[in-house]
A = this chain, B = another copy of it.
Amino acid sequence: MSSESLWSRTRRAAFAEIAEVAMELFLEKGFEATTIDDIAAAAGISRRSFFRYFGTKEDVVLGNLAGEGARAAAALAERPDDEPLWTALLNVVALIDEAPGERERLLKISEMMYGTPSLRARSLEKHLQWQADLLPEVKRRLPADPGDGLADLRAAAVVAGAIACLDAAGETWTRQKGAVPLRELLKVAFDSIGHAVG
């Protein structure tokens, strides 16, 4: 007796299999050149069923990024309260590390993402979600609201700045084909803003 029902187990298995088949096609023929029909045929399901697993074609590639914001927020909450906010944020985003064996594959996916407008757009929308997820904890760590009702804006600006660094570092990492570890690039990006405003 599993903690998970058989229904959801088979569903998750199908989910993973469709995603894998689709990613293979994407990496082989390119994202835009691969149609939903191609994926459905390769996965042995109907066109209609594909959309029962993934809302959009982009979700196949970016679906796993959906929960990252909440995870990052949890990680931030566990940083010591006396750690400077900017440092804490750097430490949190730096948790996103290159999975050792997956580097080559991750690089190809990243190149595809930065090179495909619709994918890039979706990833930017994910950033907005991360921003919303991180907002409460960042607001909590910010100096007390002076009473002008702009605490949300202050927190949003800081989070957005951090995510902007993540994005810039990620793009550089991809363009340089992973030559420099992402962690170092993140530090450089965070420090740049630190120096520019200082």
Within residues 112 to 139 of chain A, which ones have a CB less than 8 A from any CB in chain B? 117, 120-122, 124-125, 128
- A198–B197 touching, CB < 8 Å: yes
Cα(A160)–Cα(B143), bound, Å: 24
Q: Does A24 contact B (CB under 8 A)?
A: no
Cα(A152)–Cα(B163), bound, Å: 17
Cα(A125)–Cα(B121), bound, Å: 6
Q: How large is the interface on A (under 10, 10 to 19, 20 to 34, 35 or more residues)?
A: 35 or more
- A150–B172 touching, CB < 8 Å: yes
Which residue from B120, B172, B192, B198 sits with its C-beta under 8 Å from A125? B120
Cα(A185)–Cα(B151), bound, Å: 11
A99 to B: closest C-beta gap in Å: 22
Q: Which residue of B lies closest to A120 (CB)?
A: B125
3 residue pairs, one from A and one from B, having the closest CB atoms: A160-B164, A157-B189, A154-B192
The residues of A with any CB-CB pair to B shorter than 8 Å are 84-86, 117, 120-122, 124-125, 128, 142-143, 150, 152-158, 160-161, 163-165, 167-169, 171-172, 180, 185, 188-190, 192-198
